[in-house]
């Protein structure tokens, strides 16, 4: 299979897997040539209304777009537009109401992301991609204690609103996380590690638990680097939803430890950070590529009261306009 949208559709419509595979190949083989609904349905031996419905789903996924063309009434060929004149080369006649009729066809949107057969099967039929939520928040004012569970809940609700929510799952969240908890996060085999900053300053820190006493210690770039490079499976995406974490995100991406990372350039208000997180994951769950999900979330959470902006960093080989965390191997 070639298209990510085919994987997404197959995960939601497993009873139509054969039809989706056939349409996937048709789109790839047609290239820049239009797909006519009646001819395509006959060629693939798919019931006409079902074929049309599946094409509309590909249009919703931005793999296909529609266009109106003139079709010759005599030879049933699409008429060509040559220097502003619509002409049938087969019949050698110009388009008029008598010689042609309008028909809606589908064309491939360029660029489209293609998958190989193995990654299609993994995404479409088996793998669920895990998001691991981690926060060091514990103790402090009551309002601080409420923020990280609220952020966690908003992310889960955002994913549930997505058209492709079946592709993502939240692991058991870690609150009051210690370094030991972080080093054990590999057990959930996460596709995304989401670090929630906490307290009034959205700081990125872990809990040092000494039984009767507990205090916070900042989580450093070196600690994160050592931990992530020791995980048995590579984590494709890290989201540092906390103050002044852009440097961490940039270091991890530049060194290729992750495919992509997100951090904040400055102090970020709790409400702005939570809004960004919910919008970002809703975008991913709706099939938006990383750059689109990030940009729409960044624009949607903008607040005049702060100079803080999220920063997206990617490894050298990653094009964020064509990448989702589920594409990582």
Q: Per-residue pLDDT tens for 71-100?
A: 998 998 888 876 668 888 888 888 887 888
User: 30 by DSSP, 3-state: which?
Assistant: helix
C-alpha 168/C-alpha 236 separation (Å) is 14
C-alpha 202/C-alpha 179 separation (Å) is 18
User: 186 by DSSP, 3-state: which?
Assistant: helix
Assess contact for 193 and 204: CB atoms under 8 A.
no
C-alpha 326/C-alpha 199 separation (Å) is 31
Q: What is the pLDDT, as a whole number, of residue 118?
A: 44
What crossing angle do the helices spanning 221-230 and 246-254 adopt, rounded to 10°?
40
Tokens describing residue 288: 């938006």
Q: Which is higher by pLDDT, 40 or 137?
A: 40
Assess contact for 258 and 228: CB atoms under 8 A.
yes
C-alpha 262/C-alpha 244 separation (Å) is 11
Nearest to 104 by CA among 58, 52, 69: 69
Instruction: Give me the phi and psi of 71, to 5 degrees please.
Output: -115, 135
Give the strands of the sheet with 80-82, arranged side by side.
80-82, 85-88, 93-94
* pLDDT over 60 at 50, yes or no: yes
* pLDDT over 80 at 329, yes or no: no
Q: Which is higher by pLDDT, 148 or 145?
A: 148
Domains, the chain, with CATH or none: 4-117 (1.10.10), 128-327 (3.40.50.1460)
Q: What is the pLDDT, as a whole number, of residue 212?
A: 43
Instruction: Give me the phi and psi of 91, to 5 degrees please.
Output: -95, -10
Going by C-beta distance under 8 Å and a sequence separation of 6 or more, which residues neighbour residue 136?
176, 177, 178, 198, 204, 205, 206, 207, 216, 219
- pLDDT tens readout for residues 99-137: 888 899 999 886 555 544 444 444 444 467 899 999 875
Assess contact for 168 and 128: CB atoms under 8 A.
yes
Cα–Cα distances (Å) from 314 to 70, 195, 301, 323, in that order, read 45, 17, 21, 10
Q: What is the pLDDT, as a whole number, of residue 137?
A: 58
- pLDDT tens readout for residues 213-251: 445 666 788 889 999 999 999 999 999 998 888 999 999
Work out the pLDDT band at 147, boundaries 50, 70, 90: low
pTM for this entry: 0.61
Q: What is the pLDDT, as a whole number, of residue 121?
A: 44
Q: What is the pLDDT, as a whole number, of residue 144?
A: 46
Going by C-beta distance under 8 Å and a sequence separation of 6 or more, which residues neighbour residue 238?
192, 193, 194, 195, 224, 228, 249, 252, 258, 260, 261, 262
* pLDDT over 80 at 145, yes or no: no
Assess contact for 113 and 322: CB atoms under 8 A.
yes
- pLDDT tens readout for residues 270-288: 888 899 999 999 999 888 8
- What mean pLDDT value characterizes the chain? 82
């Amino acid at each position: 299979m070639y298209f990510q949208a085919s994987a997404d559709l197959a995960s939601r419509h497993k009873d139509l897997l054969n039809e989706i595979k056939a349409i996937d190949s048709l789109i790839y083989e047609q290239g820049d040539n239009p797909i006519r609904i009646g001819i395509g349905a006959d060629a693939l031996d798919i019931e006409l209304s079902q074929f049309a419905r599946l094409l509309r789903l590909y249009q919703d996924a931005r793999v296909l777009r529609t266009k109106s063309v003139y079709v010759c009434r005599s030879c049933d060929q699409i008429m060509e537009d040559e220097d502003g004149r619509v002409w049938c080369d087969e019949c050698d006649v110009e388009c008029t109401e008598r010689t042609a009729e309008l028909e809606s066809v589908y064309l491939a949107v360029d660029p489209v992301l293609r998958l190989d057969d193995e990654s299609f099967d993994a995404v479409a039929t088996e793998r669920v991609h895990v998001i691991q939520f981690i926060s060091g928040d514990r103790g402090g004012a009551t309002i601080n204690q409420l923020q990280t569970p609220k952020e966690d809940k908003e992310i889960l609700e955002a994913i549930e609103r997505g058209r492709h929510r079946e592709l993502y799952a939240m692991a058991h969240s870690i609150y009051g996380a210690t370094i030991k908890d972080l080093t054990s996060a590999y057990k959930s085999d996460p596709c995304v590690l989401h670090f929630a900053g906490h307290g009034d300053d959205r700081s990125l820190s872990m809990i040092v638990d000494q039984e009767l006493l507990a205090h916070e210690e900042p989580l450093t770039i070196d600690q994160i680097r050592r931990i992530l490079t020791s995980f048995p499976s590579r984590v494709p995406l890290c989201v540092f939803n906390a103050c002044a974490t852009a440097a961490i995100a940039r270091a991890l991406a530049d060194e290729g430890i992750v495919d992509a990372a997100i951090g904040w350039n400055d102090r970020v208000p709790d409400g702005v950070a939570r809004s960004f997180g919910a919008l970002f994951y809703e975008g991913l769950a709706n099939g938006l590529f990383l750059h689109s999900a990030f940009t729409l979330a960044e624009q949607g959470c903008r607040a005049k009261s702060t100079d803080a902006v999220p920063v997206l960093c990617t490894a050298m080989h990653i094009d964020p306009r064509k990448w989702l965390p589920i594409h990582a191997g």
